[in-house]
Amino acid sequence: MTVVGILWLREVKKYLRSRVQMVASLGGPLMYLGVLGFGLGPVFQRAGQGSYLQFMAPGVIGMTVLFTAMFSGIAMLWDRQFGFLKETLVAPVPRLAIMLGRTLGGATVAVLQGTLIFGVTLIAGFRPVSVLAVPVAFLLIALIAVVFAALATAIGSTIKEMQGFQMVMNFLVMPLFFLSGALYPLVGLPWVLAALTRVDPLTYGVDGMRGLLIGRGSAHFGLGVDVAVLLGVGVVFVAAGAWRFSKIEA
């Protein structure tokens, strides 16, 4: 097995063994689905927008993928602290392979977590417009996971202290989520907020999922634009992560 495969498998095994992580990660999405999905549902429906649960479910899935992928960067800091990263870096393998293995592992964990939350949304009452759209939506979810896992790798390669990483995550993750349109439509926004939503990569991921899962009429940009932007940002983040990882010192 290649280095990429070994590191990918290591991250996935760590996640599958951590049942506490699986259960604990349900807290945030369940709160949004229960409190906002059902609490604001009548208001959303009276505004003529239909079911709020249907609208926000793709956003909650995107939130889960974002959080899980971004916090995968913490694993790099733990590995640096306990010496595993140093052992990996001295191995006679390209650092690019190590970076790709870690990034793909974090992205796979994010997709698995997104799958779990997708099942929760189905239990809550979410219904995709088509069963055939679900596999395509998961390809988009995988793309979102790679984008933000690569960003987390770049950040984790730059910051050495756990406290610093947590502050950066808090500064990035919540704005990325709230500016993505996960909880509100992207039409009729003030121009400043509309401009900010357009520079948020998660906006295009949520918009693409929404168009696939609840109908093309709900998409703001169109699936082609969403995929193109995510692919472009993904290339930039993977390149940035590879560059920063090549400079890392264990």
Secondary structure (DSSP) of 96-147: HHHHHHHHHHHHHHHHHHHHHHHHHHHHHT---S-TTHHHHHHHHHHHHHHH
Picking from 211, 219, 45, the residue whose alpha carbon sits closest to that of residue 130 is: 211
Check pLDDT > 70 for residue 40: no
Residue scoring higher pLDDT (223 or 90): 223
Picking from 206, 173, 179, the residue whose alpha carbon sits closest to that of residue 194 is: 179
pLDDT band at 154 (very low <50, low <70, confident <90, very high): confident
Number of domains in the chain: 1
Q: What is the pLDDT of residues 115-149, one digit of tens each?
A: 989 998 888 888 898 888 999 999 999 999 999 99
User: Is pTM beyond 0.95 here?
Assistant: no
Q: What is the mean pLDDT of residues 196-220?
A: 89
Mean pLDDT across the chain, nearest whole number? 82
Q: What is the pLDDT of residues 76-88, one digit of tens each?
A: 777 777 666 666 6
pLDDT number for residue 56: 87
pLDDT number for residue 2: 74
Q: What is the mean pLDDT of residues 17-40?
A: 70
Check pLDDT > 80 for residue 64: yes
pLDDT number for residue 84: 66
The one-letter amino acid code at 61 reads I
Check pLDDT > 80 for residue 195: yes
Domain that holds residue 58: 3-246
